[in-house]
Amino acid sequence: MLDVMEIQDILPHRYPFLLVDRITEMEKGKSVTGYKNISISEPAFMGHFPGHPIYPGVLILEGMAQAGGVLALKSNDLSKEELAKKVIYFMSIDKAKFRSPVKPGDKLEYRIEIKKLRGTLIVLDGKAYVDDALVAEAELKAMIVDK
């Protein structure tokens, strides 16, 4: 549905902090599904952990938020020019749980649903999967603001 170049038209994030490779499904105002291919060449693996690479949980949460950000910004039907003037800030992360480690070679799939979208405030139910097994979940609150 959206490749990495189209995602970069929506989000301000860039390498090494753009954590969504592709959006595969999106229902505006409702949900989004996307993924990140986890490669051994990820910068985080240099220190997390040498000889035992585990993708950091905070980056999983950030990837969920980025996928949710694409959904939030696309749900507001903003033009490309308007999108360029917006950014999304985290307000809170609640009920975060990490169920199993994510490792190099995994395809990390984000499945995000909007719990509440009121003006510039968005509350998301975020889940992350590898091979259809739940690896992480959290409730994310964010706000769309002008840059």
Given the residues 22, 48, 103, 141, the one annotated as active site: 48
Q: How many residues are there in the chain?
A: 147
Half-sphere exposure (Cβ direction) of 12: Cα atoms closer than 13 Å: 13
Q: Which residues contact 79 (CB under 8 A, 6 or more apart)?
A: none
Residue ranges making up the domain that contains 95: 4-146
Neighbours of 5 (CB within 10 A): 7
Which pLDDT value is given to residue 24?
A: 98
Beta carbons within 8 Å of 143's beta carbon, 6+ residues apart: 88, 89, 91, 120, 121, 122
Q: Looking at residues 10-33, what average pLDDT do you find?
A: 96
Distance CA 101, CA 94 (A): 20
Whether residue 48 lies in the annotated active site:
yes
Q: What pLDDT is attached to residue 39?
A: 97
CA atoms of 6 and 100, how far apart (whole Å): 30
How confident is the prediction for the chain on average, in pLDDT? 95
Among residues 38, 5, 6, which one has the least CA distance to residue 19? 38
Distances (CA, A) of 64 to 8, 46, 52, 67, 101: 16, 22, 24, 5, 16
Q: Is 16 left (phi over 0), alpha (psi -120 to 50) or beta?
A: alpha
Tell me the whole-structure pTM to 2 decimals. Answer: 0.95
> Is the confidence at residue 111, as pLDDT, over 90?
yes
Q: What is the CATH number of the domain that holds 114?
A: 3.10.129.10
- Confidence bin at 67 (pLDDT 50/70/90): very high
Q: Is the pLDDT of residue 120 over 90?
A: no
The number of domains in the chain is: 1
Q: In sequence order, what are the beta bridge partners of 97?
A: 137
